[in-house]
Protein backbone atom coordinates (compact mmCIF):
# COMPACT_ATOMS: atom_id res chain seq x y z
CA UNK A 1 0.00 0.00 0.00
CA UNK A 2 1.37 3.40 -1.01
CA UNK A 3 1.16 6.00 1.73
CA UNK A 4 0.86 9.62 0.65
CA UNK A 5 1.89 12.49 2.92
CA UNK A 6 1.70 16.30 2.66
CA UNK A 7 4.99 17.75 1.38
CA UNK A 8 6.15 20.96 -0.22
CA UNK A 9 7.26 20.65 -3.83
CA UNK A 10 8.37 23.85 -5.56
CA UNK A 11 6.78 25.86 -2.75
CA UNK A 12 3.37 24.17 -3.03
CA UNK A 13 1.92 21.75 -0.48
CA UNK A 14 0.95 18.58 -2.31
CA UNK A 15 0.66 14.82 -1.78
CA UNK A 16 3.88 12.84 -2.13
CA UNK A 17 4.61 9.15 -1.58
CA UNK A 18 6.10 8.84 1.92
CA UNK A 19 9.23 6.92 0.91
CA UNK A 20 9.96 9.42 -1.90
CA UNK A 21 9.67 12.32 0.56
CA UNK A 22 12.34 10.65 2.72
CA UNK A 23 14.54 9.62 -0.21
CA UNK A 24 14.53 13.16 -1.62
CA UNK A 25 14.64 14.91 1.76
CA UNK A 26 11.48 16.86 0.93
CA UNK A 27 10.12 19.24 3.55
CA UNK A 28 6.91 17.62 4.82
CA UNK A 29 4.32 17.78 7.59
CA UNK A 30 4.51 15.64 10.70
CA UNK A 31 2.97 15.22 14.14
CA UNK A 32 4.68 14.12 17.38
CA UNK A 33 3.01 13.34 20.69
CA UNK A 34 4.39 12.99 24.22
CA UNK A 35 2.13 11.29 26.76
CA UNK A 36 3.20 12.28 30.26
CA UNK A 37 2.62 11.01 33.78
CA UNK A 38 4.11 13.75 35.94
CA UNK A 39 7.80 13.94 34.93
CA UNK A 40 7.67 10.56 33.16
CA UNK A 41 7.02 10.23 29.44
CA UNK A 42 5.84 7.18 27.55
CA UNK A 43 8.41 6.04 24.99
CA UNK A 44 7.94 3.55 22.21
CA UNK A 45 10.54 1.37 20.55
CA UNK A 46 9.86 1.50 16.82
CA UNK A 47 8.93 -1.84 15.29
CA UNK A 48 11.85 -3.71 13.74
CA UNK A 49 10.03 -3.85 10.37
CA UNK A 50 10.01 -0.06 9.93
CA UNK A 51 11.86 1.13 6.83
CA UNK A 52 13.84 3.71 8.77
CA UNK A 53 15.09 3.86 12.35
CA UNK A 54 13.75 0.38 13.22
CA UNK A 55 14.19 -0.66 16.84
CA UNK A 56 15.09 2.84 18.05
CA UNK A 57 13.38 4.43 21.04
CA UNK A 58 11.34 7.56 20.40
CA UNK A 59 8.57 9.72 21.81
CA UNK A 60 5.12 8.25 22.44
CA UNK A 61 3.86 8.68 18.89
CA UNK A 62 5.16 10.24 15.69
CA UNK A 63 3.56 10.24 12.26
CA UNK A 64 2.56 12.17 9.17
CA UNK A 65 -0.94 13.59 8.84
CA UNK A 66 -3.09 12.73 5.87
CA UNK A 67 -3.38 15.49 3.28
CA UNK A 68 -5.67 18.17 4.73
CA UNK A 69 -5.94 16.44 8.12
CA UNK A 70 -5.95 18.65 11.19
CA UNK A 71 -2.76 17.96 13.22
CA UNK A 72 -4.70 17.60 16.51
CA UNK A 73 -7.05 15.05 14.94
CA UNK A 74 -4.01 13.23 13.53
CA UNK A 75 -2.44 13.07 17.01
CA UNK A 76 -5.58 11.50 18.49
CA UNK A 77 -5.95 9.07 15.57
CA UNK A 78 -2.35 7.86 15.70
CA UNK A 79 -2.28 7.42 19.48
CA UNK A 80 -5.07 4.92 18.92
CA UNK A 81 -3.60 3.29 15.79
CA UNK A 82 -0.06 2.92 17.15
CA UNK A 83 -0.68 2.32 20.86
CA UNK A 84 -4.38 1.62 21.32
CA UNK A 85 -4.63 4.76 23.47
CA UNK A 86 -8.12 6.26 23.50
CA UNK A 87 -9.71 9.21 25.25
CA UNK A 88 -6.70 11.56 25.27
CA UNK A 89 -6.86 14.96 23.61
CA UNK A 90 -3.27 16.27 23.50
CA UNK A 91 -2.55 20.01 23.76
CA UNK A 92 -0.50 21.68 21.03
CA UNK A 93 2.85 22.85 22.41
CA UNK A 94 5.00 23.91 19.47
CA UNK A 95 5.69 23.70 15.77
CA UNK A 96 9.31 23.00 14.92
CA UNK A 97 11.25 22.29 11.77
CA UNK A 98 14.24 20.00 11.60
CA UNK A 99 16.31 18.06 9.11
CA UNK A 100 17.98 14.80 10.10
CA UNK A 101 19.71 11.87 8.43
CA UNK A 102 17.79 8.71 9.42
CA UNK A 103 20.12 6.24 7.70
CA UNK A 104 20.17 4.30 4.43
CA UNK A 105 20.20 7.53 2.40
CA UNK A 106 16.92 8.74 3.91
CA UNK A 107 16.30 12.21 5.34
CA UNK A 108 13.56 13.55 7.58
CA UNK A 109 12.91 17.21 6.78
CA UNK A 110 9.87 17.82 8.88
CA UNK A 111 7.62 20.64 9.97
CA UNK A 112 6.27 19.04 13.16
CA UNK A 113 3.29 19.96 15.29
CA UNK A 114 4.17 18.71 18.78
CA UNK A 115 1.49 17.75 21.29
CA UNK A 116 1.53 16.75 24.97
CA UNK A 117 -1.14 14.83 26.88
CA UNK A 118 -1.39 13.89 30.54
CA UNK A 119 -2.00 10.20 31.15
CA UNK A 120 -4.81 9.21 33.48
CA UNK A 121 -3.93 6.68 36.17
CA UNK A 122 -5.89 3.98 34.32
CA UNK A 123 -4.28 4.54 30.88
CA UNK A 124 -4.55 1.38 28.81
CA UNK A 125 -1.88 0.70 26.20
CA UNK A 126 -2.27 -1.90 23.45
CA UNK A 127 0.68 -1.43 21.03
CA UNK A 128 0.22 -2.31 17.36
CA UNK A 129 3.11 -4.76 16.68
CA UNK A 130 3.49 -3.42 13.12
CA UNK A 131 4.29 -0.01 14.60
CA UNK A 132 5.68 -0.60 18.11
CA UNK A 133 8.10 -3.23 19.43
CA UNK A 134 7.94 -2.15 23.09
CA UNK A 135 6.95 0.71 25.40
CA UNK A 136 8.29 2.08 28.66
CA UNK A 137 7.84 5.02 30.98
CA UNK A 138 10.94 7.06 31.73
CA UNK A 139 11.60 10.18 33.79
CA UNK A 140 12.71 13.13 31.62
CA UNK A 141 15.89 13.59 33.66
CA UNK A 142 16.79 9.92 33.26
CA UNK A 143 15.93 10.04 29.55
CA UNK A 144 18.29 12.95 28.95
CA UNK A 145 21.07 11.11 30.80
CA UNK A 146 20.41 7.88 28.90
CA UNK A 147 20.54 9.72 25.56
CA UNK A 148 23.89 11.23 26.53
CA UNK A 149 25.26 7.77 27.37
CA UNK A 150 23.71 5.80 24.48
CA UNK A 151 22.58 8.21 21.70
CA UNK A 152 22.56 5.42 19.09
CA UNK A 153 19.51 3.86 20.80
CA UNK A 154 17.25 6.87 20.08
CA UNK A 155 15.69 8.49 17.01
CA UNK A 156 17.31 11.67 15.73
CA UNK A 157 14.12 13.67 16.23
CA UNK A 158 13.76 12.70 19.89
CA UNK A 159 17.30 13.92 20.51
CA UNK A 160 16.51 17.18 18.67
CA UNK A 161 13.31 17.72 20.67
CA UNK A 162 15.08 17.22 24.01
CA UNK A 163 18.16 19.25 23.10
CA UNK A 164 16.63 22.18 21.19
CA UNK A 165 12.93 22.36 22.12
CA UNK A 166 12.58 20.95 25.63
CA UNK A 167 11.36 24.21 27.21
CA UNK A 168 8.59 24.76 24.65
CA UNK A 169 7.44 21.13 24.84
CA UNK A 170 7.71 20.39 28.56
CA UNK A 171 7.64 23.85 30.17
CA UNK A 172 8.78 23.73 33.80
CA UNK A 173 9.36 19.97 33.49
CA UNK A 174 12.23 20.70 31.07
CA UNK A 175 14.32 21.72 34.08
CA UNK A 176 14.16 18.10 35.29
CATH no. for residue 34? 3.90.79.10
Q: For residue range 4-17, list pLDDT tens digits in order.
A: 999 999 999 999 99
> Radius of gyration of the chain from Cα atoms?
15
Domain interval for residue 127 = 4-167
Burial of 117 (0-12, 13-18, 19+ CB in 10 A): buried
Q: Is 101 within the bounds of a domain?
A: yes
Determine the average pLDDT of the residues in 146-152.
97
The answer to whether residue 172 is domain-embedded is no
Task: Catalogue the active-site residues.
Answer: 62, 110
Residue 176 lies in a domain: no
Task: Assess if residue 88 is contained within a domain.
Answer: yes
Classify residue 173: in a domain, yes or no. Answer: no
pLDDT at 99 over 60: yes
Work out the percent of the chain whose per-residue pLDDT is above 90: 92
Give the pLDDT score at 175. 60
Q: Is the dihedral of CA 42, 48, 51, 53 positive or negative?
A: positive
In angstroms, rounded to a whole number, what is the distance separating the alpha carbons of residues 154 and 133? Answer: 14
Total domains present in the chain: 1
Look at residue 175 and tell me if it is in a domain.
Answer: no
- How far apart are alpha carbons 57 and 141 in whole angstroms? 16
Mean pLDDT, the chain, whole residue set: 95
Amino acid sequence: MTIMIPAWVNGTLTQVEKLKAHEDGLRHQAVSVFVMDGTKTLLQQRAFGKYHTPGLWTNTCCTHPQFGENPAACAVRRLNEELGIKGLFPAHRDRVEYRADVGDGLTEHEVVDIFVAQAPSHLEIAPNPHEVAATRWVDLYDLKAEIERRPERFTPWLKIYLTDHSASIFGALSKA
